[in-house]
Structure 1
């Protein structure tokens, strides 16, 4: 199988590349912004992901594209118009790649989207068939990319697989998970000892296993698939589990969630409070049944693997 992988220098793309190389049997080409430390034999420097990126050389002879590159969710975005910038990369850049991939004869296009397309809070688990309700610019750009990809699929017949993961954790994870780990490592007391929400997560090993299942599985064609570990935790349970995994018990103070929510509103930190206090559950039953798949690692195992030297 000849594969073009984008985003190989990133958190998820790097793990995909490492796993594909370990499994063997894949001819992998990488699309990169710069050469870096990769061999010129596999690395195609395409520069910025945009509507003008030229992909012809990188796509030559490829049967599958795994598109993991994106402008990721940025907590403190300093650009004047974040949505426009997300659209430039995640929508225009993605659709340009997909059009050229279809023209080059690529059979299947795997797009790593986000559960944010469904929404960022719920009272019952999201399913792949729910009406999209993106609430943030990053998720909006992913939803617009999905819509454009479906049009390309219908026009060209190139198979499309869309995977929407929730928060992804793993070794050196960026974003919210990385912040939680740093807080616990530093022994910072956190007022999060009485949070009774439910959050779905996905370990990077489970997510990559799902992506690889989608490479060849015939039932994955033209599907939206939700990813997850199949276990939901409260923020309090997650912090304690992280502390156990790193061998440093989380120092949690049992402050009622309503008090924290009120304080966050006064400080203008509603978005942060929502991620820590709100619920976001994902129903992965369609993914498991359709692909005869189950997450290979439990949350406990996935967290432990985050801090093992081999990972």
Structure 2
């Protein structure tokens, strides 16, 4: 099986390509930066990972999200429809649906993204879903939650640095539950979609089976790196005041960072597991997180 993968140089792309190559699948990396990709659309499946990631510093021009995440996706999908390629896997995001989740995020929820990133992803989804799919082709829209693994950069790195520098984690007063997605579970799910032709086209959330609180995450980081957990419970009112001050003078501890670290964001993975015919994913959330933390240690 020959796979055409955009965004293969990114964190997810590198891990996924390495994993799929070990399954004896042929990987062709394609770039959308120039029109030459239009001459190389020959394979069994397209995995579209390339896109403009969410800029947490909010300094990106919003039009860039729509140019890259929406318009390039539409162009690639149009070529897929006319090609001999059978499968199209588009990596969207749970943020294409909701920036905040009070209960549990299912695929059927009415989408209402607030950021240009989420809106640009949703517009790409809507375009794909509005097209008539030729017989013999499958189309998958994947909505992963926060992905982590070796080589990951993001809030896990920030929390790891806090623990390593023996800085007390100040947000222990916040109790939350959020979903993560370990790269090994992501790789497994994509492999199953590619190899199991009985899995139907559709929109699928990707998440680990278990939810993890940030306080539990700090404990996992401390245990895995053999450090003492120095969490302290500073009153929420005081933390929120510090965050607003951080917004004004561009501190790392700002409202968006606080929200990411303390929000509830639970994502259901029942639909994809039912489609595959499994009860549990191969790796627990804790196993995936421990692997990610160990990769920080081994740098």
Question: What is the TM-score normalised by the length of structure 2?
Answer: 0.89
**Among residues 272, 285, 295, which one is paired with 2:257 in the alignment?**
272
Counterpart Cα distance in 2 of 1:64 and 1:11? 20
Alignment of 1:224-239 (within 5 A): 224-239=203-218
Q: Which runs of 5+ in 2 are unaligned?
A: 248-253
Counterpart Cα distance in 2 of 1:13 and 1:260? 36
Aligned residue pair count: 289
Contact 1:165 1:202 in 2 (8 A): yes
SS in 2 for 1:9: coil
Matched residue, 1:42: none
**Among residues 76, 88, 103, which one is paired with 2:57 in the alignment?**
76
**Among residues 162, 180, 183, which one is paired with 2:162 in the alignment?**
183
Deviation at residue 156 of structure 1 after TM alignment: 4.1
**Among residues 110, 113, 117, which one is paired with 1:134 in the alignment?**
113
Matched residue, 1:27: 26
**Among residues 105, 120, 124, which one is paired with 2:103 in the alignment?**
124
Contact 1:30 1:58 in 2 (8 A): no
Counterpart Cα distance in 2 of 1:76 and 1:301? 30
Deviation at residue 138 of structure 1 after TM alignment: 1.2
Q: Which runs of 5+ in 1 are unaligned?
A: 33-45
Counterpart Cα distance in 2 of 1:11 and 1:260? 32
Structure with more relative contact order (C-alpha pairs < 8 Å, separation 6 or more): 2
Contact 2:220 2:290 in 1 (8 A): no
Matched residue, 1:286: 271
RMSD: 2.1
Contact 2:177 2:264 in 1 (8 A): yes
Residues 276 and 112 of structure 1: CA distance in aligned 2, closer, same or farther (over 3 Å): same
Deviation at residue 77 of structure 1 after TM alignment: 4.2
Residues 47 and 291 of structure 1: CA distance in aligned 2, closer, same or farther (over 3 Å): same
SS in 2 for 1:168: strand
Matched residue, 2:69: 90
Counterpart Cα distance in 2 of 1:258 and 1:233? 24
SS in 2 for 1:193: coil
Counterpart Cα distance in 1 of 2:215 and 2:98? 22
Residues 155 and 171 of structure 1: CA distance in aligned 2, closer, same or farther (over 3 Å): closer
User: Which range moves more in the overlay, 251-260 or 281-290?
Assistant: 251-260
Matched residue, 1:113: 92
**Among residues 271, 283, 286, which one is paired with 1:297 in the alignment?**
283
Contact 1:228 1:295 in 2 (8 A): no
Question: What is the TM-score normalised by the length of structure 1?
Answer: 0.86
User: Which range moves more in the overlay, 226-235 or 155-164?
Assistant: 155-164
Q: Does 1:67 align with 2:48?
A: yes
Matched residue, 2:16: 16
Q: Does 1:192 align with 2:192?
A: no
